Amino acid sequence: MNQTADVVIIGGGIVGASVAFHLAERGCTNVLILEREAEQGLGSTGKATGGVRAQFATPINIQMSRYSIDFFTRFEEATGHECGYEPAGYLFVATSEAQLDYLKQTRARQMAEGLTNVELVGADEIARRVPGLRTDDVMGGSFCGTDGFIAPLKVMRGFTARARERGVRVWTETEVKGIEVKGGRVAGLQTTRGRISTRVVVNASGAWAAETARLASVEIPVAPLRRQLVSVQPAVPLAEGLPMVIDMSNGFHFRPEARDVGTTPGVLLAWPDDAETPGFKTDFDPSFTKKVFERARKRVPSLVAGATLNANRCRAGLYEMTPDHHAIIGESPGVGGLFLANGFSGHGVMHSPATGRILAELILDGRASLLDVSALSPERFATGQLLSETSVL
């Protein structure tokens, strides 16, 4: 049977759900989300750490975060559902003058972008905030108290639920197999549930975005890269209200697990393993535990001494990397009606509110009024106007 929709969104993760929500809020409700899995959230969204921060280095990332974090504070009012926002903060810990200078410079840029609550903190203050952290080599750090955590699946479900109440349809177990282009414009989709007529398609397919774009003969530089998380139960209970803590000497970072993760939330340990190579690898590699434990032992020995592994909560998922670690947002060059919301490079959860609103504006108004997103245009890779985000975790 031939179905029609004003907008079809490929991918039912947090980004697709946010786009659907924002379209529906604007009165555009003949929208269909297509998700190939049996349920939403089985892509990267369900694997994410749940960190949200505005402490970035580029104006566009700072602005995307500022809008999104503010949105998380009023998520329940906007969607009728809670999102688990906890403003526990992000604490960057510097162990060299160069790192401290970097934090000072990025703080100045953050202030210029209106993010005025980033504090520079000394080693004593860091030790006070994070009991057990080794600070003998610490030069200082930066802390932003409105950074913190949200629950990615709650956000995705909240966006989806409100969008559905407004009339948006969600089809699971429906894979997009082809994108029809006629006269340089999207005309429809081929799916495992038949053909769908539409003139507007949103590529919200996460780490699989390049494959999806290729269905319309569009090339975008989005590569899947595995990221792994280790969950441990420390022998000594953690202090309450710990922030996300980032050891800038090697990228090791950790957060207290969300309270609803189980009866005894532990700690999530993470580290961007530079031996990782692009590919669709979503299996958790047990040898990663040793690597992350080594870094944890150096910075917070009490986290791992006598700790037990929560093996069922260790996981691996995919970052969707672009060459400049920034998202690709905009209408595809050469194919009218194909909109890209891709390549978040590990920040798609925290940037989902701004992304959804911007996509709705691009689709309905032809331009984004929330923010100038020209820096994120898909054309930048061909014209060489790449961005530079140095604060990637």
Q: Which of 284/302 has CB closer to ligand FAD?
A: 284
List residues binding ligand FAD (CB under 6 A).
Answer: 10-16, 34-37, 42-45, 47-51, 175-176, 204-208, 212, 227, 229, 317-320, 344, 346-350
Burial profile 238-253: b = 16 or more Cβ within 10 angstroms, e = fewer: beeebbbbbbbbeebb
Could you tell me the smallest distance in angstroms from the CB atom of residue 51 to ligand FAD?
3
Phi first, then psi, for residue 214 (nearest 5°) are -65, -20
Q: Which of 125/273 has CB closer to ligand FAD?
A: 273
Q: Render 57-106 in DSSP notation, one character per residue.
A: SSHHHHHHHHHHHHHHHTHHHHHSS----B---EEEEE-SHHHHHHHHHH
Q: Which of 123/220 has CB closer to ligand FAD?
A: 220
Q: Which of 91/139 has CB closer to ligand FAD?
A: 91
Could you tell me the smallest distance in angstroms from the CB atom of residue 123 to ligand FAD?
26
Q: Which of 135/295 has CB closer to ligand FAD?
A: 295
Tell me which DSSP letter residue 238 carries.
P
What is the identity of the amino acid at 180? E
Phi first, then psi, for residue 187 (nearest 5°) are -120, -25
Could you tell me the smallest distance in angstroms from the CB atom of residue 357 to ligand FAD?
15
Q: Which of 128/259 has CB closer to ligand FAD?
A: 259
Q: Is 183 exposed, middle or buried (0-12, 13-18, 19+ CB in 10 A)?
A: exposed
| CB-CB neighbours of 296 under 10 Å | 26
3-state helix, strand, coil in the chain (%, to 5): 30, 25, 45
Q: Which of 36/299 has CB closer to ligand FAD?
A: 36
How is residue 134 written in tokens?
A: 């080794």
CA distance 353 to 329: 13
The closest alpha carbon to 232, from 252, 255, 249, 260, belongs to: 255
Could you tell me the smallest distance in angstroms from the CB atom of residue 227 to ligand FAD?
4
Q: Are 293 and 234 in contact (CB under 8 A)?
A: no
Could you tell me the smallest distance in angstroms from the CB atom of residue 150 to ligand FAD?
8
Could you tell me the smallest distance in angstroms from the CB atom of residue 134 to ligand FAD?
24
Could you tell me the smallest distance in angstroms from the CB atom of residue 310 to ligand FAD?
15
